[in-house]
Every structure is written in structure tokens, then in C-alpha cells.
């Protein structure tokens, strides 16, 4: 099994080391420390979990909800959270369309 250091993960995924440590602090991500090695290292399983976290973050899902989704991805709660986020995004789109029409009217 290959391990990646925190710096390697940070560079590969474009995430700061501080963010990675914060995800660990929240319990979203785990690192290990090998004997006689002072730095955090990540397993392939941790890397896969980071990929999931980053995808969900790109979908504008808050970290608290990501924790709930990853804790039990097949649960009704996870589906409800995703549905709620979809509804919220729909509301934002509608609000932005109103702003767009207002700005177009002001320009005209």
C-alpha cells in the first residue's frame, strides 16, 4: 500500500494542508503516522474519501452535511440532505434570475 504525505495530497488535489488538517479535526478524513516519521500520511482509502469530500464541496454541500452523508451514504437522511440542497440551489437560481432581469431593465 502506497502512502502519500500531507504535502503530496495538498499538491495533487489543490487543497491546503490547513484544510486537510481541518477535515481531520472534523472527523471527515483520517491520516496516519508511520513509525519514526513525523508527517501525516494518507492511505488510498483516505484519498478516496477526500475525493468524495471534494466532490460534495464542489456541489456546495456544507461540511456538516458532508459528515452526515459520508457516515451513512445510503440512508434516507443523506437523500433528504441532497434534496434540500437541490431545492436551495433552485431558489438561488430563481433569485439570480430576478436580479438579472432587474439589471437588464436598469441598463435598458
CA 92 from centroid of its chain's CA atoms? 20
For 93-107, what is each residue's pLDDT tens digit? 999 999 999 999 999
* CB under 8 A, 24+ apart: contacts of 16-24: 20/50, 23/50, 23/53, 23/63
Whole-model pTM?
0.77
Task: Report helix, strand or coil for 92.
Answer: helix
For 68-86, what is each residue's pLDDT tens digit? 888 887 778 888 888 988 9
Amino acid at each position: 500500500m502506497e502512502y502519500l504525505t500531507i504535502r503530496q495530497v495538498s499538491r495533487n488535489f489543490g487543497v491546503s494542508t490547513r484544510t486537510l488538517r481541518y477535515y481531520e479535526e472534523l472527523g471527515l478524513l483520517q491520516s496516519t503516522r508511520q513509525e519514526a516519521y513525523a508527517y501525516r500520511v494518507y492511505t488510498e482509502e483516505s484519498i478516496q474519501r477526500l475525493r468524495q469530500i471534494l466532490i460534495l464541496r464542489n456541489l456546495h454541500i456544507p461540511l456538516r452535511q458532508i459528515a452526515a452523508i459520508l457516515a451513512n451514504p445510503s440512508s434516507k437522511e443523506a437523500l433528504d440532505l441532497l434534496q434540500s440542497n437541490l431545492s436551495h440551489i433552485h431558489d438561488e437560481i430563481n433569485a439570480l434570475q430576478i436580479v438579472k432581469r432587474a439589471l437588464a431593465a436598469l441598463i435598458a
